[in-house]
Amino acid sequence: MAYLELEDVPTQDDLDRLYVLLRSKLRLDEEEANEAQVFGRWVVAQCASPEPAISKLDKRLRKLDGPSAKKALGDIPGELPQLGPSDRQVDVRETIQNSFGT
């Protein structure tokens, strides 16, 4: 959710694409995918903007699960933007990949 919000408020198409990716890539059921989206919105709201939310989640995932967290997330961010990632999204993705050593 934070990745989507780096550029603007996500469109319904963006949210639908995220929902499908959560279900297929992370093998979440309908309820879990909906909860993941709600939780994502909550985290961004608590952090006041997407960048700190991404940073907090990145650190937390590395602490909790290390490299397997990166593997579990797969390439969801890369598959989200309909017209390709923005410069900010590319920078964030590279930072996260570097933090996981990939």
The CA distance from 62 to 70, in Å, is 8
Angle at 85 between CA 80 and CA 91, to 5 degrees: 115
Axis crossing angle, helix 50-65 with helix 30-47, rounded to the nearest 10? 120
Contact present, 50 and 9 (Cβ < 8 Å): no
State the average pLDDT over residues 18-24. 88
Is the pLDDT reported for residue 31 higher than 90?
A: yes
Is the pLDDT reported for residue 87 higher than 70?
A: yes
Per-residue pLDDT reduced to its tens digit, 52-81 = 888 887 777 777 766 666 655 656 766 766
Q: Which two tokens stand for residue 24?
A: 């297929």
The CA distance from 87 to 84, in Å, is 10
The CA distance from 10 to 8, in Å, is 6
What type of residue sits at position 5?
Answer: E
Axis crossing angle, helix 50-65 with helix 87-99, rounded to the nearest 10? 20
Write down the pLDDT at residue 96: 67
